[in-house]
């Protein structure tokens, strides 16, 4: 199939960006979306032009690096799918596809479709862990954990930190990301001792980074490639309020 | 130079204990003065950086990705082995040690592997304490499953995302140290040179991939935790960015490269669908717990799999290897699949695939579930429905991944799979302390050669990465850093840093000035094809000799005709990739040289000249029971050093899974 692409080009974070239009030919329906971009980039290189910069690494939907906003949707049209797992059988000959980077103040553009997501690292550094040094652990089976609780924790922990939730949110809020981490650890006995300071400190860091507030729109859940549930945000709110009112969370 | 593996004396099961109680220590005040560079933030790098930070060292952690959490360990699916014997099925430290030595086809060191088995249980404890959500049973205790090459259930897992959960655990530990100030994080930075002063590693030259600037970083020691080099084949299950550059720079600075030809071809990957393919996707080995592998008994059978009756199917692994069945080690399963396809029994449009079928597992689980729910008169349809639910819980994410890529529903039709490059057992040669032949330069995880011999067993890569990072390097690093407490930080205007930076800058300038006509990607594909055809699943002397000549020719072409658009300053992924492919073009040649030298078959290294009557790998212990450690002597010149392998406890025999 032949396709028209409108892609965001931006030299660096100091320059203004703009859309550029490209045509790609003979795209097979078996290609992944990023393989279609590989074809385009090979074409640009052969014309002596600079290829489009985009983030990608594992190409199997788990590293969280790929991050394209496709026809107005984070990671494109398929539910619970990262950009790298989207395949071209979704499109038909003659389609026009618009591709933009994640848009958020806390994710400044580095180049073209590549954005800086180090704000997520700093949120984790603010409290997204259990403070246990190597060598401190007791036997792994010393503490049984109810299966359902462990499964819920795992579901929250399956967040890949891609930032689609932020890109999808009209407020560019990072609540789904933060709540997934808070839930993952709050649901486990190992996370219990620090749950209050964790919630307070991670939320504070999220605000410092310039992410917006949550107004319960739900776009984050709809676009999350790992199906992280909004229930996590409800849990984060409970954790946060509980921590603040108990007065014990001086992080 | 004689290789000294520094294996401690004494009985095998006491070596590590003895080492730990006699190695030198560094007191807390001195640790704060000692700077450690960690390159790579996968399981080995993140666990090492976090642990060393906790201990009080001043650590700098580098990764080329945008965050340490992206490292390719994240993609590991199936699980992590540990000799916990929670299943009461006869497991022990010795058995894990023995299975690993045997699985590696007797080409790994006993001392290292025993240590790995010893610390395996601590890893699980550590990860659970960090909040890694491993799968659990209804009683609340940890669940296990089986992996290839073993007869016990010792694999811990978190659905099909075990690597992700373990890496996030290590990453969170790392970020905690970043917040505390003991670790400084450098993301989107690529190491391009090791700096040596008076023969010791004393730092690195790194390139900031966003600005294109070169940076000098001092360290009393440098730890390379930079993963494997499977991408030399272009198509592999590795992430697009995985590369050999850091290890190769170290090699050219004097670190020997161990067993470079030992490559793992994983049996269960989604087959290649066309020339556009950029990477291959693994379907976890855990699927072989429940999936049955088969091809039609008739050659060129074009019927749909569901139309082929049971008696016309050849479950060739169960037929050839009744003792281990579908759970034979990876090298054995891969060769068996290739053999069937080459003989004309392959399936799918390319005929280069075999089926991985879950129908009988779905029915089996459905019956168990029906019994659990007291539905003793459940209809077949109900049983299948319940069985699918169970399979979904175990492997749901893998099934979804398969469906997205192929557009087929694996709950209804069998998966089509074929072997693909997955892991490299070879890597930088290290001694028992994980130090390379360059003093103060260490290699951890997949980047070193040490524990898996000629074939790695499933669920052992995660174990080794975390063993090296959490439980080995914290001891062994101290043993040499104790002698460095009087070494002050060396200013980076030292001539060695200046010279190293100039070397890197000159190479980048040279690459950019070629201004040829062929893309980096195209060269990489051509190299991959040579490697796969001639140094892949089957290798022979003639093919390897041809490959060496072809790679030399391709390298010349690359350096005279590669086209790299863009500029040196600013973000330029084409330039990053060009540097990596240039290194692969040198490594590929060494892999072929090593494969040519080793005129025996062992594990994943299959020399067609050396096989048994029924096509199994035939070792030659008389001639080749050694680690091949190659020293770089200049372009296309490598000197072989042999580290003889001595088996004191296990007696090498012909590996049999029948």
Instruction: Render chain A in DSSP notation, one character per residue.
Output: --EEEEEEE-SSTTSPPEEEEEEE----TTSBHHHHHHHHHHHHHHTTPPPPP---SSSSS-S-----EETTEET-SSTT--GGG-BGGG--TT-EEEEE----TTS-EEETTEE--HHHHHHHHTT-S----TT----TTSS---HHHHHHHHHHHT-----HHHHH-TT-B-HHHHHHHHHHHHTSGGGGGGHHHHHHHHHHHHHHHT-B---S--HHHHH-TT---THHHHHHHHHHHHHHHHT----
Spell out the domain ranges in chain B.
266-421, 501-626
Closest alpha carbon to A70 in A245, A240, A225: A225
Contact between residue B144 and residue A160 where contact means Cβ atoms under 8 Å apart? no
Cα–Cα distance list, B422 to B265, B426, B489, B532, B595 (Å)? 6, 12, 40, 12, 18
Nearest by CB: A56 against B139, B175, B240: B240
Average pLDDT score over residue span B435-452: 98
Q: pLDDT tens across B550-583, in order? A: 999 999 999 999 999 999 999 999 999 999 999 9
A chain contacts of residue B133, beta-carbon cutoff 8 Å: 150, 153-154, 157, 184, 188
B chain contacts of residue A44, beta-carbon cutoff 8 Å: 565
| Torsion angles phi and psi, residue B617, rounded to 5 | -65, 135
- In percent, the amount of chain B with pLDDT more than 70 equals 100
From the candidate CATH numbers 3.60.9.10, 3.90.700.10, 3.60.20.10, 3.20.20.140, the one assigned to the domain spanning B266-421:
3.90.700.10
| pLDDT for the residue A249 | 57
How confident is residue B393, by pLDDT bands cut at 50, 70 and 90?
Answer: confident
Whether the predicted pLDDT of B524 surpasses 60: yes
Nearest by CB: A134 against B136, B239, B470: B470
Quick one: how far is CA B248 from the chain centroid? 16
Whether the predicted pLDDT of B640 surpasses 60: yes
Helix residue ranges, H only, B77-109: 93-103
Mutation to test the A interface, candidates B44, B128, B209, most A Cβ within 10 Å: B128
Quick one: how far is CA A154 from the chain centroid? 17
Mutation to test the A interface, candidates B276, B475, B478, most A Cβ within 10 Å: B276
A204: number of Cβ within 10 Å: 14
| Token representation of residue B38 | 């960690």
A chain contacts of residue B81, beta-carbon cutoff 8 Å: none
Who contacts B486 (Cβ-Cβ below 8 Å, separation ≥6)?
Answer: none
Q: pLDDT tens across B104-123, in order? A: 999 999 999 999 999 999 99
- In percent, the amount of chain A with pLDDT more than 90 equals 98
Farthest CA pair distance, chain B: 82
| pLDDT for the residue B159 | 87
| Closest approach of B501 to chain A, Cα-based (Å) | 25
Contact between residue B454 and residue B328 where contact means Cβ atoms under 8 Å apart? no
From the candidate CATH numbers 3.40.50.300, 1.20.58.100, 3.40.640.10, 1.10.260.40, the one assigned to the domain spanning B501-626:
1.20.58.100
Q: Is B330 a catalytic site residue? A: yes
B574–A89 C-beta distance less than 8 A: no
Which of 77-136 (A) contact B at CB < 8 A?
78, 80-81, 85-87, 89, 110-111, 114, 116-118, 120-121, 124-126, 128-136
> Does any CB of chain A come closer than 8 Å to the CB of residue B530?
no
Which of 19-48 (A) contact B at CB < 8 A?
28, 30-32, 34-35, 38-39, 41-42, 44-46, 48
> Does any CB of chain B come closer than 8 Å to the CB of residue A64?
yes
Average pLDDT score over residue span A157-178: 98
Which of 474-513 (B) contact A at CB < 8 A?
474
| pLDDT for the residue B657 | 87
Q: pLDDT tens across A217-244, in order? A: 999 999 999 999 999 999 999 999 999 9
In whole numbers, what is the pLDDT of chain B averaged over residues? 96
Catalytic residue among B330, B340, B456, B598: B330
* Residues making up chain B, counted from first to last: 658
- In percent, the amount of chain B with pLDDT more than 90 equals 94
B519–A45 C-beta distance less than 8 A: yes
Which of 407-466 (B) contact A at CB < 8 A?
407
Contact between residue B630 and residue B641 where contact means Cβ atoms under 8 Å apart? yes
Angle, helices B15-22 vs B110-130, to 10°: value is 70
B131–A190 C-beta distance less than 8 A: yes
Average pLDDT score over residue span B481-509: 98
Q: Could you give the CA distance from residue B343 to residue B389 in angstroms, rounded to a whole number?
A: 37
Closest alpha carbon to B150 in B426, B456, B356: B456
For chain A, list the domains and their CATH numbers.
3-110 (3.10.20.30), 117-246 (1.10.1060.10)
A87–B407 C-beta distance less than 8 A: yes
Q: Could you give the CA distance from residue B357 to residue B287 in angstroms, rounded to a whole number?
A: 9
Contact between residue B226 and residue B427 where contact means Cβ atoms under 8 Å apart? no
B chain contacts of residue A158, beta-carbon cutoff 8 Å: 159, 161, 164
Q: In what order do the strands lie in the sheet with B626-632?
A: B427-428, B257-258, B626-632, B638-644
Average pLDDT score over residue span B374-378: 92
Mutation to test the A interface, candidates B70, B170, B189, B478, most A Cβ within 10 Å: B70
What is the reported pTM?
A: 0.97
| pLDDT for the residue A118 | 98
Which of 225-244 (A) contact B at CB < 8 A?
none
Please tell me whether residue B652 adopts helix, strand or coil conformation. Answer: coil
| pLDDT for the residue B285 | 87
B chain contacts of residue A129, beta-carbon cutoff 8 Å: 130-131, 172-173, 175-176
Whether the predicted pLDDT of A247 surpasses 80: no
> Same topology for domains B266-421 and B501-626, yes or no?
no
Q: What is the DSSP string of B11-77?
A: -GGGHHHHHHHHS----HHHHTT-EEEEE--SHHHHHHHHHHHHHT-EEEEE-SSSSGGGSGGGG--
* Residues making up chain A, counted from first to last: 251
| pLDDT for the residue B558 | 98
A193: number of Cβ within 10 Å: 12
Contact between residue A106 and residue A12 where contact means Cβ atoms under 8 Å apart? no
Cα–Cα distance list, A117 to A76, A108, A154 (Å)? 19, 8, 23
Whether the predicted pLDDT of B18 surpasses 70: yes
| Dihedral angle of Cα B557, B560, B562, B566, to the nearest 10 degrees | 170
| Closest approach of B65 to chain A, Cα-based (Å) | 8
Whether the predicted pLDDT of A250 surpasses 60: no
Q: pLDDT tens across B157-205, in order? A: 998 899 999 999 999 999 999 999 999 999 999 999 999 999 999 999 9
| pLDDT for the residue B625 | 97
Q: Could you give the CA distance from residue B353 to residue B415 in angstroms, rounded to a whole number?
A: 9
Whether the predicted pLDDT of B128 surpasses 60: yes
Whether the predicted pLDDT of A136 surpasses 60: yes
Mutation to test the B interface, candidates A28, A133, A140, most B Cβ within 10 Å: A140
Q: Which residue of B has its CA nearest to A145?
A: B140
Nearest by CB: B519 against A12, A46, A81: A46
How confident is residue B39, by pLDDT bands cut at 50, 70 and 90?
Answer: very high
Please tell me whether residue B355 adopts helix, strand or coil conformation. Answer: strand
| pLDDT for the residue B152 | 94
Q: Which residue of B has its CA nearest to A132?
A: B130
Q: pLDDT tens across B246-260, in order? A: 999 999 999 999 999
Average pLDDT score over residue span A108-121: 98
Identify the H or E element spanning B205. Answer: strand B200-208
Average pLDDT score over residue span B85-101: 97
> Does any CB of chain A come closer than 8 Å to the CB of residue B47?
yes
Report which of residues B396 and B8 the model is more confident about.
Answer: B8
């Amino acid at each position: 199939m032949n396709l028209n692409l409108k892609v965001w080009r931006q030299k660096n974070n100091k320059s203004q960006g703009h859309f550029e239009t490209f045509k790609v030919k003979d795209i097979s329906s078996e290609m992944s979306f990023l393989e279609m971009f590989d074809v385009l980039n090979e074409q640009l290189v052969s014309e002596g032009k600079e290829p489009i910069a985009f983030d990608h690494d594992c190409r199997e939907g788990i590293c969280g690096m790929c991050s394209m906003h496709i026809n107005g949707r984070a990671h494109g049209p398929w539910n619970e799918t990262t950009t790298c797992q989207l395949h071209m059988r979704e499109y038909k000959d003659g389609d026009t596809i618009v591709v933009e980077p994640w848009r958020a103040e806390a994710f400044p553009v580095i180049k073209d479709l590549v954005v800086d997501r180090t704000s997520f690292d700093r949120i984790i550094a603010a409290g997204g862990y259990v403070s246990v040094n190597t060598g401190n652990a007791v036997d792994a089976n010393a503490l049984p954990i109810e299966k359902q609780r462990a499964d819920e924790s795992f579901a929250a922990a399956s967040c890949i930190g891609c930032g689609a939730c932020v890109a999808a949110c009209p407020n560019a809020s990072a609540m789904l990301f933060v709540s997934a981490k808070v839930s993952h650890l709050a649901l486990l006995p190992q996370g219990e001792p620090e749950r209050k300071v964790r919630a307070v400190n991670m939320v504070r860091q999220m605000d410092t980074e310039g992410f917006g507030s949550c107004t319960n729109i739900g776009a984050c859940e709809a676009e999350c490639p790992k199906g992280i549930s909004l229930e996590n945000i409800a849990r984060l709110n409970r954790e946060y309020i509980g921590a603040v009112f108990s007065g014990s969370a001086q992080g | 130079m004689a290789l000294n593996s520094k294996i401690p004396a004494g009985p095998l099961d006491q070596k590590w204990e003895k080492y730990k109680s006699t190695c030198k220590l560094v007191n807390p005040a001195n640790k704060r003065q000692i700077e450690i560079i960690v390159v790579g933030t996968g399981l080995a790098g993140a666990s090492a950086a976090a642990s060393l930070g906790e201990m009080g060292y001043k650590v700098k952690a580098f990764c080329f990705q945008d965050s340490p959490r992206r490292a390719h360990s994240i993609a590991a699916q199936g699980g992590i082995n540990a000799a916990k014997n929670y299943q009461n099925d006869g497991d022990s430290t010795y058995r894990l040690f023995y299975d690993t030595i045997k699985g590696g086809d007797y080409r790994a060191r006993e001392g290292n592997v025993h240590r790995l088995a010893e610390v395996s249980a601590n890893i699980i404890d550590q990860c659970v304490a960090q909040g890694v959500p491993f799968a659990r049973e209804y009683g609340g205790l940890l669940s296990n499953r089986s992996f290839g090459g073993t007869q016990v259930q010792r694999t811990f897992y978190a659905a099909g995302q075990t690597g992700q959960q373990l890496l996030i655990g290590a990453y969170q530990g790392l970020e905690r140290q970043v917040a505390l100030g003991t670790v400084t994080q450098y993301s989107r930075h690529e190491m391009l040179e090791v700096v040596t002063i008076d023969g010791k590693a004393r730092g690195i030259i790194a390139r900031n991939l966003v600005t294109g600037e070169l940076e000098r970083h001092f360290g009393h020691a440098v730890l390379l935790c930079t993963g494997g080099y499977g991408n030399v084949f272009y198509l592999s299950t590795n992430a697009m960015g995985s590369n050999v550059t850091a290890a190769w720079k170290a090699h050219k600075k004097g670190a020997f490269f161990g067993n470079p030809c030992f490559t793992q071809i994983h049996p269960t990957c989604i087959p290649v669908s066309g020339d556009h393919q950029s990477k291959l996707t693994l379907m976890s080995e855990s699927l072989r717990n429940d999936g049955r592998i088969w091809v039609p008994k008739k050659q060129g059978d074009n019927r749909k799999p569901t139309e082929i009756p049971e008696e016309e199917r050849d479950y060739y692994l169960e037929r050839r290897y009744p003792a281990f069945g579908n759970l034979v080690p990876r090298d054995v399963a891969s060769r068996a699949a290739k053999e069937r396809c080459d003989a004309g029994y392959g399936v799918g449009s390319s005929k280069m695939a075999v089926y991985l079928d879950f129908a009988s597992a779905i029915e089996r689980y459905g019956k168990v579930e029906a019994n659990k729910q007291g539905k003793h008169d459940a209809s077949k349809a109900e049983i299948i429905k319940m069985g699918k639910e169970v399979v979904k819980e175990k492997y749901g994410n893998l099934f979804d991944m398969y469906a997205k890529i192929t557009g087929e529903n694996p709950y209804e039709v069998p998966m089509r799979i074929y072997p693909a490059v997955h892991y490299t057992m070879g890597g930088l040669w290290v001694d028992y302390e994980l130090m390379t032949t360059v003093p103060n330069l260490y290699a951890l995880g997949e980047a070193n050669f040490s524990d898996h011999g000629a074939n790695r067993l499933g669920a052992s890569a995660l174990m080794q990465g975390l063993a090296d990072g959490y439980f080995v390097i914290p001891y062994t690093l101290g043993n040499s850093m104790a002698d460095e407490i009087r070494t002050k930080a060396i200013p980076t205007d030292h001539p060695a840093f200046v010279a190293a930076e100039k070397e890197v800058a000159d190479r980048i300038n040279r690459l950019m000035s070629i201004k040829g006509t062929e893309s980096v990607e195209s060269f990489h594909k051509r190299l991959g094809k040579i490697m796969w055809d001639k140094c892949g699943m089957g290798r022979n002397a003639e093919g390897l000799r041809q490959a060496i000549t072809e790679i030399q020719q391709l390298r010349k072409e690359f350096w005279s005709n590669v086209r790299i658009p863009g500029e040196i300053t600013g973000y330029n992924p084409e330039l990053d990739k060009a540097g990596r492919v240039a290194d692969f073009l040198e490594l590929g040649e060494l892999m072929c040289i090593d494969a040519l030298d080793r005129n025996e078959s062992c594990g994943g290294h299959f020399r067609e000249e050396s096989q048994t009557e029924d096509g199994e790998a035939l070792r030659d212990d008389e001639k080749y029971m050694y680690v091949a450690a190659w020293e770089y002597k200049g372009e296309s010149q490598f000197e072989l050093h042999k580290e003889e392998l001595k088996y004191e406890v296990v007696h090498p025999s012909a590996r049999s899974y029948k």
